[in-house]
Amino acid sequence: MNAEEMEFSKVQKWSFSLSSLSTYFIMGAFNIWVFSFYFVAVGLPTIYIMLAFILWTIWNSINDPLIGYLSDRTHTRWGRRLPYIIIGTIPICIIEIILWIPPTGSHFITFIYLLVLLICFDTFYTCVYLFETVFPELYISIEDRAEVNTMKQVLGMIGILLSFLIPGIFIEDLTKPTGYLINGIVTSIIVGLTLFIAIKWGVKERKEFQLDHQHDFSFIQGMKYTFNNRGFILYVIVFFLYEYLVLLVGTIFPLYCKHVLHVSPFETSILLGLMLLIGLATIAIWMKLDIRIGGRKAFAFAMIAYIICTIPLLFVTSYISVLLIILFAGFGWGGMMYFVWLLIADIIDEDELKTGVRREGTYIGSSVFFMRLAMVASIITISFVFTSSGWEEYTPNPGADIILGIKLLMVVFPGIAIALSLICLYFYPFTKEYVQEIKQNMAELHMSKKERVKSN
């Protein structure tokens, strides 16, 4: 049995994939509600929120790639990634609770509290997110990757769905802090339980990669080599723009529903939940398209499908109309979620052929930084639009300019992000044929690695 034919049980695959439910759930709950909480419920001005996220990003620029690099160089009896995942699990669950009980004596004290928790959240979340580095390392064949990626996206969408629906149950009014705290406690419990299952029964390590921690790359050299990879540069631009779109829409959607549609948080959750359910139902279609035409073309098709479906949001104000729009937009949303993390696995495979070692930590860690950068970009965009339209501090009855700004944030800015992404995907070098060639060359490399491990 060669390296590519290593077998994994359904229990192992589903247990591993539960990590996506955990990470998508807790990050979804964070991304969607943290701005609304601190802006609407706490009353922190947008300038403080924007500054906190900018400083947070500076920390991310060091933290995310460094943790990824350190995991690449780690060697323990539990593997390279598992110790970090375990270290991050309990703190991230605690932070998910205390994030929603800030001191409110002054704007500055609240700002410092938010900044400290942002830094702590990111540090431990990056440790937990190393689950993503295990995916391309553990599942090498096209068939295994397609199957497990489907499981990951199904559970990941359920995680995002929970991040919309559960808050809708507890957050009855965006201006009242109590619901956010209850939601944080419930989220923490669910995330803790699913991470335990994923850690206990999902994480494994291939024997042929046990010596891959032995390489000559320093942190700086590794980063230079990584960012000299043309395919990776194009990918992280697409990834950044995708995350910018997701975070922008996720953050602004509660305000869109409250002030444009005039509906409750629960009805808002229903809308987002329906879009995710449609995305979930279309995963099998995207998996087949991936195999038939390749990830690059299918990803582009998903982006085009999504943005076309959302254009009517600029004009409609009826809840039923938006519900119908969301049902169609869910098709493209599902495709974007399916492909965004699948593409980087091919880049890591190619890098292994060039360097001789698997460097998932460096690549995933660098990508996570761009995820955080996208969040800051989305907050800056929102702050710019709100400030330009006279909504620096929250007031319950915004004027026509603010309503227009909310609509632009929902449709026009995401449209620009998708247009730029399509340009990058056009030049993205990982065609279906090139990916198949990489797989063939990897089989021989992994057999030689396996022999090297045996000889040691």
Distance in angstroms (rounded) separating the CA atoms of residues 352 and 407 = 44
Average pLDDT over residues 80-96: 94
End-to-end CA distance of the chain: 20
307-324: pLDDT as tens digits: 999 999 999 999 999 999
Q: Which tokens is 376 given?
A: 């800051």
Question: Is residue 212 a part of any domain in this protein?
Answer: no
Q: Tell whether 2 is covered by a domain.
A: no
Q: Please give the distance of CA 354 from its chain centroid, rounded to a whole number.
A: 27
| Amino acid sitting at position 189 | I
Q: Is residue 179 part of a domain?
A: yes
pTM of the model: 0.76
Residue 167 lies in a domain: yes
pLDDT of residue 168: 78
Residue at 315 is within a domain: yes
CB 341 within 8 A of CB 370: no
Residue 412 in domain: yes
Number of compact structural domains in the chain: 1
pLDDT of the residue at 135: 84
Tens digits of residue pLDDT in 357-374: 778 888 888 888 888 789
Do residues 96 and 191 make contact, with C-beta atoms less than 8 angstroms apart?
Answer: yes
- Decide if 351 is inside a domain: yes
Specify the 3-state DSSP secondary structure of 3.
Answer: helix
- Between CA 320 and CA 159 the distance in angstroms is 25
Residues 213-269: tens digit of each pLDDT? 556 667 788 788 888 899 999 999 999 999 999 989 988 998 899 889 998 888 888
Single out the residue of 135, 121, 120, 184 nearest to residue 19, CA to CA: 135
The pLDDT, as a whole number, for residue 212 is: 54
Domain that holds residue 137: 12-204+226-447
**Cα distances (Å, whole numbers) of residue 81 to 52, 137, 242, 371:** 29, 11, 26, 20
Q: Is residue 217 part of a domain?
A: no
Structure confidence at residue 357 (pLDDT): 79
Compute CA distances 210 → 80, 390, 395, 451, 456, whole Å. Answer: 8, 57, 57, 12, 10
Q: Would you state the torsion angle of the CA atoms of residues 388, 390, 393, 394, taken in this order, to the nearest 10 degrees?
A: -110
State the CATH number of the domain containing residue 297.
1.20.1250.20
* Alpha carbon distances (Å) from 380 to 50, 52, 244, 409: 6, 11, 11, 12
DSSP string, 347-409: HHHHHHHHHSS--HHHHHHHHHHHHHHHHHHHHHHHHHHHHHTT-SS--SS--HHHHHHHHHH
